[in-house]
């Protein structure tokens, strides 16, 4: 096992990894940008190194700086988390060259799966079903020809894409050109590569993915599926395990297909094979994510396995002590991503100071977050505040538990999607499992509170104003200037710094 | 004390009457007995006819944020003097501003171009996401105040649309 591990990430996933490292007895090394000095991952780690400016391109994406810290601190292994350098082949290669273990698959596996067009070819060779589309990256003219051939609606996707970036759904031919331009430009700014491909859009599709775990001794197993069909702007918002859409038979088949794909690229560590499924239960290979997934906790909840710890143990050369048939799933897990964003304005990010945070707790409730009262959500990074995860015996109980836990959350300072998530948990169609990737678009009524009795809100507001004025009136004794300054800062919504 | 609050364009008048053991709140003339405890700086436990509610409140200058059942409400505190002023009529000139710090990816309209309601005028990138700002009115673009590639702060005027 490693003595010292560097976490090349920030936010809740850095916190999650730091905790796993500590439990395994490793010293943890955090890196941070200008904007993250006060972030929780810095406070929780044993060592912390400043690596540059707030923009990811000046810090978390700079390979040289991270390698420099790794060497200076005597780090043996680097966990990249998700996003940033986690699926960067060059970074994995560089680690290898410097004699540092990259906690993840080989650079070669990242390369093969990172390029969606190559990944499609591998899937084809493995006889895995694929959605009809272009054979690789296309020019603007080719793209339009392919779109005409496979028929609208079509999906334009960035070859280097992920997380919904550089992706556009086109329903009508006359919107194709502008969508193609947007997809290319977003792909260029997100991945530095504007090549795209075109695929048929599967109507009312569900997103189901298989968690893979593989060691370096030839053992590759799957940890069942997760369903991530509740999405906005092609990004997942609610994930669950298992999926209510698949039978034991399809589960087995999907798991075997995923294992085959992982073995085809000699995969090691944790990875996810994503599928798109139509309403009849046909599934098609979408892509493989060669890193820990945001929604990994739901799989941990139903299998009882700690995926992040296994990633670290596998990277240290340990052999998986269990076989496929020994893996069991129990109960139902749900995850809601709590975002600083406003559902009423098309989920526009809502950065700012978190004046106050109170997270839910209770049996079967897990809150993976890195927020606290007084922390700042900057516009430099993803606006995810927390991943609220629950576990219960069955889907219905898990949804009830989630609704109840969400109602315990209090976040002041920025707009969040918590109210939307509560309404979603109470939606009859959602509860019946009638979900697909277009669910949110079809349910605009969930975006706003609707008719609400505002009396309690007005009462609370009046009590708060009254209380502040009373305190100011009764402050007759001389008091510390620090207190006065603090109160002024609090009233203007700022901080002392 | 009397307070006037505005939530979602609706104005409410609230009176607080504190007696020895009880606080009575009057909303638009209706009496509501309230039992409350402040749990910490931003959290109130309120009991209304034995119904227990936990509500978050924070104050930002003259405005408040109230968090209730997962939703955040912006509450504008209006002084009685402000209330007498007539609400300003929406003019036919609309300034389109950046909602947050962002980069201008593309300007879709030039000065003189006609735009329709909800037609995209500018593409912004923030938090690695691109989004299109739309015109709230029908009219003509009368001024473009930024260039493609510019980085702008929140609330920066970007483009002006005037109705015909």
User: pLDDT of A12-46, one tens digit each?
Assistant: 999 999 999 999 999 999 999 999 999 999 999 99
Least reliable range by pLDDT among A47-51, A470-474, B135-139: A470-474
> What is the b/e burial string over A80-118, where b = at least 16 CB atoms within 10 angstroms of the residue's CB?
bbbbbbbbbbebbbbbeeeebbbbbbbbebbbbbbbbbe
DSSP symbol at A402: H
Domain, as residue range, for B18 = 2-83
- Rounded Cα distance, A380 and B83, in Å: 39
B146 and B78 fall within a common domain: no
Q: Which residue has the higher pLDDT, A130 or B62?
A: A130
Other CB atoms within 10 Å distance of the CB of residue A316? 17
- Contact list, B48 vs chain A (CB under 8 Å): 455-456, 459
Asked whether the beta carbons of residue B65 and residue A186 sit closer than 8 angstroms, the reply is no
Q: Which of A291, A313, A366, A423 is catalytic?
A: A291
Mutate to test the interface with B, among A460, A472, A490 (most CBs of B within 10 A): A460
Say how many residues make up chain A: 497
Last residue of a domain, one of B50, B83, B116: B83
Mean pLDDT of the A342-363 span: 95
Same domain, B140 and B97: yes
Count the domains in chain B.
Answer: 2
Same domain, B70 and B7: yes
Q: What is the ipTM of this complex?
A: 0.82
Report how many helices (DSSP H) and strands (DSSP E) chain A contains, helices first. 17, 22
CATH topology of domain A206-446: D-amino Acid Aminotransferase; Chain A, domain 1 (3.30.470)
Q: Do residue B43 and residue A410 have CB atoms under 8 angstroms apart? A: yes
User: Looking at residue B36, which CATH number applies to its domain?
Assistant: 3.30.700.30
Let me know: does B154 contact B101? Beta carbons within 8 Å: yes
Give mean pLDDT, residues A441-453.
Answer: 93
- Position A482 scores a pLDDT of 57
B75 and B102 co-located in one domain: no
We find that the CATH architecture of domain A132-200 is: 2-Layer Sandwich (3.30)
pLDDT of amino acid A484: 55
Residue that finishes a domain, picked among B83, B109, B126: B83
CATH numeric code, A4-103: 3.40.50.20
> CA A334 to CA A66: how far, in whole Å?
34
Average pLDDT, chain B: 86
Q: How far is A266 from chain B (nearest CA, A)?
A: 32
Last residue of a domain, one of B32, B58, B83: B83
Q: Are B12 and B28 in contact (CB under 8 A)?
A: yes
Q: Can you give the pTM of this predicted structure? A: 0.81
In a domain, B88, yes or no: no
Residue in A with minimal Cα distance to B45 = A460
Residue of B nearest to A338 (CA): B70
CATH number at residue B145: 2.40.50.100
Question: Do B104 and B153 belong to one domain?
Answer: yes
- Tell me whether residues B5 and A458 touch, CB distance under 8 A: yes
A489 touches chain B (CB under 8 A): no
The predicted-structure confidence for A466-491, as pLDDT tens digits, reads as follows 887 766 655 444 455 555 556 555 55
CB A464 to CB B123 under 8 A?
Answer: no
pLDDT > 70 fraction of chain A, expressed in percent and rounded: 94
Q: What residue in B sits closest to A409 (Cα-Cα)?
A: B70
Contact A489, A496 (CB under 8 A): yes
Cβ-contact A387, A294 below 8 angstroms: yes
């Amino acid at each position: 096992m490693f003595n010292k591990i560097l976490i090349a990430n920030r936010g809740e996933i850095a916190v999650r990894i730091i905790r796993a490292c500590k439990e395994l007895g490793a010293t943890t090394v955090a890196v941070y940008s200008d904007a993250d000095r006060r972030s929780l991952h810095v406070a929780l780690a044993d060592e912390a190194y400043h690596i540059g400016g707030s923009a990811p391109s000046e810090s978390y994406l700079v390979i040289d700086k991270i390698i420099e810290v790794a060497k200076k601190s005597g780090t043996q292994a680097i966990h990249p988390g998700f996003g940033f350098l986690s699926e960067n082949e060059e970074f994995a290669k560089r680690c290898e060259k410097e004699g540092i273990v990259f906690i993840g698959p080989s650079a070669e596996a990242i390369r093969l799966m990172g390029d969606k067009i190559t990944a499609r070819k591998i899937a084809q060779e493995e006889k895995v079903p694929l959605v009809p589309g272009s054979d690789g990256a296309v020019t603007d003219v080719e793209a339009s020809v392919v779109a005409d051939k496979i028929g609208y609606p079509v999906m334009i996707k960035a070859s280097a894409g992920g997380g919904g970036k550089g992706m556009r759904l086109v329903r009508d031919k006359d919107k194709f050109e502008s969508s193609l331009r947007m997809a290319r430009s977003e792909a260029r700014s997100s991945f530095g590569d504007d090549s795209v491909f075109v695929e048929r859009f599967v109507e009312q599709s569900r997103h189901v993915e298989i968690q893979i775990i593989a060691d370096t001794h030839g053992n590759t197993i799957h940890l069942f599926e997760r369903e991530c069909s509740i999405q906005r702007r092609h990004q997942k918002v609610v994930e669950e395990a298992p999926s209510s859409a698949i039978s034991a038979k399809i589960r087995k088949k999907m798991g075997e297909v995923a294992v085959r794909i992982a073995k085809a690229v000699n995969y090691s560590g944790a990875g996810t094979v994503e599928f798109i499924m139509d309403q009849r239960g046909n599934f098609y290979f979408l892509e493989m994510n060669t890193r820990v997934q945001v929604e990994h906790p739901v799989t941990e909840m139903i299998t009882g396995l700690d995926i992040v710890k296994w990633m670290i143990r596998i990277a240290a050369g340990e052999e998986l002590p269990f076989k496929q048939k020994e893996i069991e799933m129990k109960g139902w897990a749900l995850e809601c991503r709590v975002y600083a964003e406003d559902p009423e304005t098309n989920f526009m990010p809502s950065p700012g100071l978190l004046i106050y945070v109170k997270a839910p707790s209770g049996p079967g409730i897990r809150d993976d977050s890195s927020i606290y009262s007084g922390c700042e959500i900057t516009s430099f990074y993803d606006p995810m505040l927390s991943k609220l995860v629950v576990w219960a015996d069955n889907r219905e109980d898990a949804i009830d538990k989630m609704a109840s836990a969400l109602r315990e959350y209090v976040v002041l300072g920025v707009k969040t999607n918590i109210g939307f998530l509560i309404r979603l948990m109470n939606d009859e169609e959602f509860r019946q499992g009638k979900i697909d990737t277009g669910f949110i678009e079809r349910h605009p009524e969930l975006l706003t509170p609707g008719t609400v009795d505002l009396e309690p809100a007005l009462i609370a507001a009046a009590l708060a104003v009254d209380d502040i004025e009373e305190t100011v009136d009764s402050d007759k004794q001389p008091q510390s200037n620090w207190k006065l300054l603090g109160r002024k800062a609090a009233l203007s919504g700022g901080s002392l710094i | 004390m009397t307070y006037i609050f505005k939530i979602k364009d609706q104005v409410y008048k609230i009176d607080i009457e504190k007696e020895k053991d009880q606080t009575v709140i009057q909303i638009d003339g209706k009496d509501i007995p309230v039992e409350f405890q402040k749990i910490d700086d931003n959290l109130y436990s309120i009991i209304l006819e034995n119904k227990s509610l936990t509500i978050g409140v924070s104050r930002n200058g003259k405005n408040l944020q109230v968090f209730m059942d997962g939703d955040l409400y912006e509450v504008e505190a209006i002084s009685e003097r402000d209330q007498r002023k007539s609400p300003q009529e929406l003019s036919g000139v609309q300034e389109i501003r950046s909602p947050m710090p962002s980069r201008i990816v593309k300007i879709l309209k030039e000065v003189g171009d006609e735009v329709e309601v909800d037609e995209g005028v500018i593409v912004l990138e923030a938090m690695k996401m691109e989004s299109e700002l739309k015109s709230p009115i029908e009219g003509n673009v009368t001024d473009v105040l930024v260039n493609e590639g510019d980085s702008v702060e929140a609330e920066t005027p970007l483009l002006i649309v005037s109705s015909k």
